[in-house]
A and B are shown apart, each in its own frame.
Chain A
Amino acid sequence: MVVLPGNANRGHVRHDAGRLELQGVTKRYPGSDRPAVDDLSLIVEAGQVCVLVGPSGCGKTTALRMINRLIEPSAGDILLDGESTRNRNAASLRREIGYVIQQVGLLPHQTIAKNVATVPRLVGWRRGETKARVAEMLELVGLDPAEYANRYPAQLSGGQQQRVGLARALASDPPLMLMDEPFSAVDPITRERLQNDFLRLHRTVPKTVVFVSHDIDEAVKMADRIAVMRDGRLVQYARPAELLASPADDFVADFVGADRALKGLSLTRIEEIELDDAPLVEAGAPSSDVLDRIASGLLVPVDGDLLVTVEGRPRAWMSVERVTDGDEVPRGPVGSPGPIVDRLATLRDALSALLDANARTGAVVDAEGRCVGLVSVDHIQGSWNAQSESAMAPHG
């Protein structure tokens, strides 16, 4: 439910999420021989992320846009929390549904703060509440309000703009978010970061999300449920693991791809596997401590190297000799921290990062960028083997 003025919880991140139900939704365009969306029925439980995937022209975007009635269905009904959206005023319905598109579409003549405040202003929040909410939303998406609130869209990078797009969609605390290929227009590194941050955000604010993607890897990573569409019809609606293990037909199997085992790596996040302890030494710490810890077995160098950190964040891999050369652990950046992997990254993301860096191990970091352990190619392979034996094996 939307936060209404007068609600005691106003101004704080809430945990409202709605249950979405599509019942036989069909969209027919005049002059077209087959419907763009044909008898689509599916349920998205409150707080779940449902990803609609399929080749272009399969009707996934049309389906999404019927949910907030940017496109009116020709037949069928859409229920939000059991209530039909058909009889609602379309504009007021849309104000209760967050909307994020690939092109972001920020208002170029307004500041970031005003952009984020769009829906609160439309529904008449008081100025002070709106201002507090804007700051809160910007922080939530990882943009410092003090720095960004008064900037303009043209001053932001593509990735930052999409963060603002997310903040804007969340500002009025909608129970449902619609996201139309939100991360497709940015470079792969930014995309992965946005995906991880979105997953993190979804844990804080578990909204119901319908997410359109053409990328099966993204779908497997983001979704609680994946809806595969083809020619306007729903071909399979299943959990990611189920979809990979048992595709409903040849089309789904083709779409998922021959490398299903590799895709299975996207099912597991780094945080779900056991990590190695990282040999962390904080810059500026006394060298004698480092040597003591090595001697007592508390610190185990990896191939003779230690990972120097600054406030817990990986800074550089250095040999034990160099680390303990002076009285204290060197503060200057000497060497590279190697590949760095987000805890929310999938095993596939991690493997790709390790291969790119031609490294056997990578530092795993939390949301604040602090190192929480090491992941290695061996780890990933171990997890892969375990998975292949259980999930992948039954399906021929």
Chain B
Amino acid sequence: MEAGRRMSLWQETWDAFNNPINDGWGQLVTHIELSLVSLAIAAAIGITLGVISAKVGKVASFLVIAVANLGRTVPEFAIMALVVALSSIGFWPAVVGLVALGIPPILLNVYTGIANVDRDVIGAARGMGMTAPQITARIEVPIAVPSLFVGLRVAAVQIVATAALAGLVGAGGLGVLVLSGLTTNQDPVLLAGAIPIALLAMSAQLIFVAGQRLATPRGLRLERADLSEQKG
């Protein structure tokens, strides 16, 4: 940088992002990869456990829920540190940490979604001759979909944000820029990492809010509208 010709901070940040040394684009792709893979695995595990714990006996479900709730209280940083301590550094250890982070909100929301299905609806369905698997597939899961999307949204935002720490464990991602910006005291580099992370988190939020609207059966949307009208 020449004295007397200061570029704007925005310009400097943009340049830092594009600088091959920082490889902003490459790290962005890695960041998204990390997040998507982790979210997908967390969703698969969280949905399965959520459905199971809503269907099995009270004691078992209580245990799963208690563990999941406990999991939410452990700080993100601690989880990542723990994973590295127990395994090694790299892409997959980071994924393990992020998955552990993503499971609780998904599991808990799927569980509540199913547990809150009107008992009378289930009772009527049984009385008409639906089997237990049919009740789960045709009633409980569709009705729990909006709740599932809430879980996915919370998990996605959390994963995207926490994936920044993956830079610490050698998994790459935008966290690398933040880290090097911090250590070398270069604000533009730091921002070249931090701003995309924030934008990614906001996009995840928007995508899942939209997804929730699209995936909510029309009948349930009407029901909600009905309820809010009564309250208002």
8 Å CB interface, B111-152 against A:
118, 120-131, 134, 138-139, 142-143
The B interface, classified by DSSP as helix, strand, loop or mixed, is helix
- Select B130's contact among A91, A101, A104, beta carbons within 8 Å: A91
Residues on the A chain within 8 Å of B217, using CB: 109-110
| Min CB–CB distance B221 → chain A (angstroms) | 9
Q: Known contacts A94-B126, A95-B129; is A108 also within 8 Å of B120 by CB?
A: no
Choose the segment among A79-87, A150-158, A197-205 that binds chain B (4+ C-beta atoms closer than 8 Å): A150-158
Give chain A residues whose Cβ lies under 8 Å from the Cβ of B225: 154
| Total B residues in contact with A, Cβ cutoff 8 Å | 26
Which residues of chain A are near B58, meaning CB under 8 Å?
A: none
Q: B218 interface residue, CB < 8 Å from A?
A: yes
Cα A99 to Cα B129 in complex, Å, equals 10
Count the A residues whose beta carbon is within 8 Å of the partner chain — how many?
30
B70 within 8 A of A: no
* Cα-based distance from A91 to B135 in the complex (angstroms): 12
A154-B223 CB under 8 A given contacts A101-B120, A104-B120, A105-B123:
yes
Chain A residues, CB < 8 A from B134: 122
A104 to B124, CA, bound (A): 7
Chain A residues in 8 Å Cβ range of B143: 108-109
Q: Chain A 72-103 against B: per-residue CB contact (8 Å), 1 yes, 0 no?
A: 00000000000000000001111110010101
- Residue A160 CB within 8 A of the other chain: no
Cβ-defined contact, A122 with B124, below 8 A: no
B222 interfacial contact with A, CB 8 Å: yes
B125 and A107 form a contact (CB under 8 A): yes
Given A101-B120, A101-B124, also A109-B129 (CB < 8 A): no
Question: Which partner residue on chain A sits nearest B124 by CB separation?
Answer: A105
Q: How far does the alpha carbon of A99 sit from the alpha carbon of B131 in the complex, in Å?
A: 15
- Please state if B222 and A70 are interface contacts (CB–CB under 8 Å): no
Instruction: Give A contacts to B, CB under 8 Å.
Output: 68, 70, 91-96, 99, 101, 103-111, 118-119, 122, 152-155, 165, 168-169, 178
Could you give 8 example pairs across A and B, Cβ below 8 Å? A105-B118, A107-B125, A108-B223, A109-B220, A110-B217, A111-B219, A153-B219, A169-B128
Binding site for A on B (CB under 8 A): 118, 120-131, 134, 138-139, 142-143, 217-220, 222-223, 225-226
Known: A104-B120, A152-B218. 14 other contacts (CB 8 A): A91-B130, A91-B131, A93-B129, A95-B129, A101-B120, A103-B120, A103-B123, A105-B123, A107-B125, A107-B138, A107-B219, A118-B128, A122-B128, A122-B129
What 8 A-B pairs have minimum CB-CB distances, sorted nearest first?
A105-B124, A95-B129, A152-B219, A94-B129, A99-B127, A109-B217, A103-B120, A154-B223
